[in-house]
Structure 1
Amino acid sequence: MITPIAVRLTRGDDLKNAIQQLVTDHGIQAGSIASCVGCLTHLHVRLAGATETLLLNEPVELVSVMGTLTPDHQHVHLSVARQSGEVVGGHLLEGCTIDTTAELIIHHYHNLIFNREPDPQTRFTELTIGPPSQ
């Protein structure tokens, strides 16, 4: 069973912290970002390669947000469009501040449990998927 959770974030909200709060408040054991549209005044993402971050302090439009949600970790990627039309993106970090609004929809999967465990091949914690506890 899938339960959608829809919220409207407002000026000053931190996107990463808001997602974590929804996961906690709704007891999400397995979830995903279904949709998120809106705008930011500040962008903070980790770039590909996991060594550098990008911080923009300018208005940007959210054009894509997707990710998997576990109780302890949200693996979320986003893309934004700058005023020039250039698109940049990466791994969501704290510091992505909502400008006027963001419309966020999360899917909560009741028949699954997502977790993250170390993977010796990638050397990162990777998603594991299992059935809920009986």
Structure 2
Amino acid sequence: MIKPYAKRLLEGDDLRLSLLEFIQLNNIRAGSLLTGVGCLSHAKIRLANEKNVLDIEGPLEIITLCGTLTAKHVHIHISVSDRKGQVYGGHLMPGCIVSYTAELCMIAYNNLNFERQYDLNTGFDELVVLKVSN
């Protein structure tokens, strides 16, 4: 069974931390962030090489926002554009601060449990999908 959720964040909220707090308050054990729109005054985005983090001053428009949600971790990708239309993207990090508002739409999978476990092949904590009996 799938359960939809929506959340509006306000100016000054940290996008990643607010999302994780929402997941934990609603006891979402497996979910997807389907979409997110809004504006940021500041963004921190980790690039694919796992070492470099872009630190970007706004105003920024959220172009895409999606990912997987577990009870203890959110794996979210974001792309934002600046006032000239230049686009930046990567992993959502703490420090992405909402300006004005951000709107998030999510779903939870009640028949699944998402966890993260270290994978020797990739060297990262990877998604593990477990079925939950109802």
TM bucket, shorter chain: over 0.9
- Asked if 1:2 is matched to 2:2, the reply is yes
Distance (whole Å) between structure 2 residues aligned to residue 3 and residue 35 of structure 1: 15
Query: AA paired with 1:53?
Result: V
Normalization by structure 2: what TM-score? Answer: 0.97
In structure 1, C-alpha distance between the alignment counterparts of 2:11 and 2:123, rounded to whole Å: 37
Say what the alpha-carbon RMSD is for the aligned residues. Answer: 1.0
Q: Which runs of 5+ in 1 are unaligned?
A: none
- TM-score normalised to structure 1 length: 0.97
1:13-32 equivalent positions in 2, closer than 5 A: 13-32=13-32
What is the match of residue 50 of structure 1? 50
Shift of 1:133: 5.4
Cα deviation, 1:53-88, whole Å, max 9, x if unaligned, reads: 011112000010011011111110100011111110
Runs of 4+ with deviation above 6 angstroms:
none
Q: Which amino acid aligns with 2:43?
A: L
What letter matches 1:38 in structure 2?
G
Q: Secondary structure at the match of 1:67?
A: strand
CA distance in 1, matches of 2:50, 2:11: 29
- The alignment covers a number of residue pairs equal to 134
Unpaired runs of 5+ residues, structure 2, are none
